[in-house]
Homo-oligomer: A and B are copies of this chain.
């Protein structure tokens, strides 16, 4: 605000003061905790709807970066992406200069007082703490890697890969120590992506997974296809094996991963055990946490606490098929929820419609995707199911580079409602999951899906796209199963 002008009369002074008070009262302050996808999407969206005179936006990020693509970290480590900054969508100074969003990196929010509507913020460089008042608070603190609670898990050389700082540490370790053997602990998305990265870096790769299959979000027979492919790529899989500890040398750097089956030598280890919502700060402030450990939100991304909002990996949302509360750590969901929180914070109305658990990844040339519920998950959600698996090709069988694709489709018995699909294949296979996702979104039956007018030309699909073949097969099984 400009300094008060020299007033020429008491009336003018009084009028100016009243205007100021009014301005002051209508300027709200939004504080955002977390400067990545959800937080900064929300801040940007809110700013588009409300200018700085109406809404002051202050964002605290404990790291050095804002709006970065955490999902790109394995590819950066694997050497497919040259520069770290390519992963940064928008730097803090851009938010400040272009959008009047006051982003403070290196600032960690250490406490929330929802009654007083204040947050306590530590300046990590200066080591000082300060309180900041808010009118609206968006918690976008993301996810934190699940670390198996075993001795030595915090040893040097054991890395999570959730932030750019983590990624840089792995790259530094690769450069400084020239490790020969990597052990990846956990074979979920991040685990298999990191296994690929380590393989691309020329390391011998071992993957330890407690379950009997990699990708436990797939049904077992689909997970087996992934395991076979990983082995053919030269990775060593240790399935059904629990990690019991980390062995270190005198320098406290990792030397091995201790399992029930013995110790796997390791010059470096990466945690691919998944994440959990990093909702601790909200929990400490008694903002309600749901069964998935995410912060409870309504469809507008509001928490049950007045003035409190949450979005992204730290927030709980709604699964459209299982109807259960779920937390899913995925950039695309974080961006969508952030946008919706921002629209609402900006005075508009927007509702997040929930998720399907759609996910895609690859390990070298093998593509993997899923959406909705697998057979086991659907049964757990109370559905009686019919499931079928088909093998097809991504292109007409006679066209060059037609590659195999396997699709498992799950439908509800009786109604034939599509409940989920899983795809394992090669180039051109996985993105087909989006058709299943769109079908699930609309609660289609497999009977309706099998006639959808999907595109066809020999370089793109067989005359019956594998999706339609999958729908046809499970439709037949639904009919055979009867009511």
Q: Does A356 contact B (CB under 8 A)?
A: yes
Q: How far is the CA of A438 from the CA of B450 in the complex (A)?
A: 11
Shortest CB distance A353–B (Å): 5
Shortest CB distance A299–B (Å): 11
Residue of B nearest to A37 (CB): B463
Task: From the candidates B398, B431, B451, name the one contacting A460 in the complex (CB within 8 A).
Answer: B431
Q: Does A355 contact B (CB under 8 A)?
A: yes
Residue of B nearest to A356 (CB): B453
Contact: B459 with A69, CB < 8 Å? no
Residue of B nearest to A449 (CB): B438
Contact: B81 with A399, CB < 8 Å? yes
Contact: A455 with B437, CB < 8 Å? yes
Contact: B433 with A435, CB < 8 Å? no
Contact: A456 with B69, CB < 8 Å? no
Range of interface residues on chain A? 35 or more
Residues of B contacting A353 with CB < 8 Å?
A: 448, 451
Known: A86-B398, A331-B463, A398-B69. A437 touches B452 (CB 8 A): yes
Q: Does A115 contact B (CB under 8 A)?
A: no
Q: How far is the CA of A438 from the CA of B442 in the complex (A)?
A: 9
Task: From the candidates B71, B434, B452, name the one contacting A432 in the complex (CB within 8 A).
Answer: B434
Residues of B contacting A383 with CB < 8 Å?
A: none
Known: A72-B458, A398-B87, A400-B80. A453 touches B432 (CB 8 A): no
Contact: B458 with A437, CB < 8 Å? no
Q: Does A457 contact B (CB under 8 A)?
A: yes
Contact: A430 with B360, CB < 8 Å? no
Shortest CB distance A435–B (Å): 5
Q: Does A117 contact B (CB under 8 A)?
A: no
Shortest CB distance A377–B (Å): 15
Contact: A69 with B432, CB < 8 Å? no
Shortest CB distance A329–B (Å): 12
Contact: B399 with A75, CB < 8 Å? yes
Residues of B contacting A357 with CB < 8 Å?
A: 453
Residue of B nearest to A464 (CB): B335
Shortest CB distance A82–B (Å): 9
Known: A72-B396, A398-B86. A441 touches B459 (CB 8 A): no
Residue of B nearest to A340 (CB): B451
Q: Does A112 contact B (CB under 8 A)?
A: no
Contact: A455 with B371, CB < 8 Å? yes
Q: How far is the CA of A300 from the CA of B348 in the complex (A)?
A: 48
Q: How far is the CA of A455 from the CA of B358 in the complex (A)?
A: 5
Interface residues of A in 306-362 (CB under 8 A from B): 320, 330-333, 335-336, 340, 352-362
Contact: A453 with B431, CB < 8 Å? no
Q: Does A213 contact B (CB under 8 A)?
A: no
Encode A87-106 as 1/0 by CB contact (under 8 A) with B.
10000000000000000000
Q: How far is the CA of A353 from the CA of B452 in the complex (A)?
A: 8
Name which of A438, A444, A451, A455 has the most chain B CB atoms within 10 A of its CB: A455
**Beyond A72-B396, A72-B458, 15 additional pairs, beta carbon < 8 A:** A37-B463, A71-B463, A75-B399, A81-B398, A86-B398, A332-B463, A332-B464, A333-B453, A358-B455, A360-B455, A371-B453, A431-B461, A434-B467, A435-B438, A437-B453
What are 19 A-to-B residue pairs whose CB atoms are below 8 Å? A71-B458, A86-B397, A320-B453, A332-B454, A332-B456, A332-B464, A336-B451, A357-B453, A360-B457, A361-B457, A371-B453, A428-B428, A434-B434, A434-B455, A437-B455, A438-B442, A441-B452, A442-B442, A442-B444
Closest 10 pairs between A and B when the two form their complex, measured CB to CB? A360-B455, A332-B456, A86-B398, A442-B442, A438-B438, A356-B453, A358-B453, A331-B463, A434-B454, A358-B455
